[in-house]
Chains A and B, each alone.
Chain A
């Protein structure tokens, strides 16, 4: 691990001021991804600013029934187990509990989870010479390499890696808002705009600006999200990243006609994939398997597979149908 200086602050404004003066510094939250990447030599910050003691660990209702605010330092296990989340946004609780292990969930923060980096083998191991995300311009080892876990939607000739988070897939379906603070004050970033597609700059995972600190995530009120579910398909029954995952919420009338749908996919793209085409096909239709399959076909029409991951296209369609069927069957 490269040498770095260490400092700690319990004030968000101070944290932003400090990182503004240290361009190569990183904020340290739970460390479950950053410390690992530093051991691998992928991340080499010259300073860590420990933000674990920032007073941003609350989960609270927003005034006027506008939803729930989650502090950036809330641990994944706290969030998954919180009554407000379990009762109003079960898809988020399920997504969190499907990720990592109990130990890691006790460490990992909401802000850090948003900033998880891809688990693409070619990115994670500097022994591989080519990775445009790790070393811009060096090429992509995955496109013609072993690409079983890679993207089928929104990828570019420069990068076919996927975003690894489960939590972010649920946040995308729930239309969450990420609140950040930078040198010029606070701003809000809708979840769908927080992460980005690789294009020709895959080294950038998000649309955060330099020196910005995530301070909270707001979940807007979504009464029908009580009827929501997270389905994760993976190689093991537990403790594995998603091959494909689906976060789904349905607003149904008494005749099981779909008034609105919110669906996002994980494991398929460089960002949590909000499935708007699918949502549009579902709107106004009867909630049944034929409808779900047609919507899944529409969403995956543009999908492109590679040598080892083409199975994901049909897998994603079937996962969508299963997740929506589960949600439709909820009382």
Chain B
């Protein structure tokens, strides 16, 4: 009995010692990020390549934009990632200036199930708002026909498919609708989850895609990458310049090639770029402007700034293959300025920008 107890104690002691010894190894900096699940495939590739060439490990947890922001507010991570800029409440909770660095751009495409229609459907903002408000209920509506001369549209009801879970995709789409349609702005507004006036909700891109595939006459919004990987029909959307634009990587990069404010918190919705796709948005990496908070070391701050600079320059070459849009030249130069403004104890964080 006594010997059993003794050996138990010994085992426990050993376990505790081994746990402690894990933490006392030579400290190698590895950065921790969390947030947007949309960014995750791109980030995984970028961080893997960065680790191979520079030897810095980045641990990214894809927990959703909201989760990333709240972890940044709790100061448990080095950087967050979000498809939506922080709102006023989150800004006040963070208690310090948070910088938004655009790292990639994404778009929301309108996919539909109309096997009769072989040409890509053409839609305007008024028609889109009308359909999602539940005012245009049939495909043979005159408004839709007017955008699609020469295409015979079937007499079937329009079934709206939207996201049921809170998501950056919904935020991009509702931001666009709120900008182009006054009724949408007053009745619904914009947000990660809104009170949809019509239609069905599907969980995730695959949920919405499933509803579209199953229902004749359905139309819904999904992420560009998902639509391209699954070869789904995408509508051409008329932009502010009056052109009907096919959503692809080039037209999203074009959408972002507009004057960008210093804080980069700009929506690309309804872009003024003539060849830009109108339902696009940046995705941001978020971090504190003053990097000396709690026990955050200068070493970590420098490593992070170096990483972020790499991401908006060399790292961009990995985006195309994964269906992410490259940053526009305007976005990259704004990003450089943002990174230069990062401080540690009031001093700019040094990094050789190459």
Q: A and B from one assembly?
A: no
A contacts, CB < 8 Å to B: none
B contacts, CB < 8 Å to A: none
